[in-house]
A and B are shown apart, each in its own frame.
Chain A
């Protein structure tokens, strides 16, 4: 198949946009020919990245945007960029969680970026002017 140069979608950074974004990216993943197991993992990465934007990127009383772009560089491979204009935040700089802790010592949160790192085949961040841009790929 010919590589696909990509599709983009701009959404309000709110919880309801996570499903819309996932459905949008899934259509790209299905066109790329990703196997079913990778589709669920892709959903997970997208939710984690989108929820970080929803929860932390913009002030509580504002409605910022999140832009989602995907491309198909080769068969069975999807490349996705999640971009926002919120506070500068590089998820790759977060410390790895302490997974050996007991229940009492385990923090309630902190596993989102860990899951993204585990399931994405590649993961990059860059600050582009006022934009945070997270680029990842998932391949079959």
Chain B
């Protein structure tokens, strides 16, 4: 997720939020790359969901994406899970 693709992700999440959803689980298993523009989107959506009494949960991070979330300590800000199933509990 980079400067080019982050807006579409953010719009998709916003669409769910506009429909009243306040808890989202994002399956990151096929995300191989994230830049700071992507991180901005995760933080922005996380804040919106939190403001509505909900939360953003991320699962199945791998490789560079997992590392980026860890070094920026965003892995401590969001609920992180190893599988979609555990994130849905």
Contact = CB atoms under 8 A, between A and B. Distances in A.
Interface stretch (A56-64, A73-81, A108-116, A128-136): A108-116
Contacts of B33: 40, 43-44
A48 interface: yes
Given A18-B2, A40-B63, A111-B72, 19 more contacts: A15-B4, A18-B4, A40-B33, A43-B33, A44-B35, A47-B2, A48-B35, A51-B36, A102-B77, A103-B77, A103-B78, A104-B47, A106-B74, A107-B43, A108-B40, A112-B37, A114-B36, A114-B72, A115-B72
Interface residues of B, number: 24
Chain B interface, DSSP helix/strand/loop, else mixed: helix
A94 interface: no
Given A15-B3, A40-B64, A114-B72, A106 B36 contact: no
Nearest to B55: A103
Given A43-B33, A118-B71, A106 B43 contact: yes
B44 interface: yes
Contacts of B72: 97, 99, 111, 114-115
Interface string B52-75: 000000000001100010011110
Contacts of B36: 48, 51, 109-112, 114-115
Which interface class (under 10, 10 to 19, 20 to 34, 35 or more) fits A? 20 to 34
Contacts of B8: none
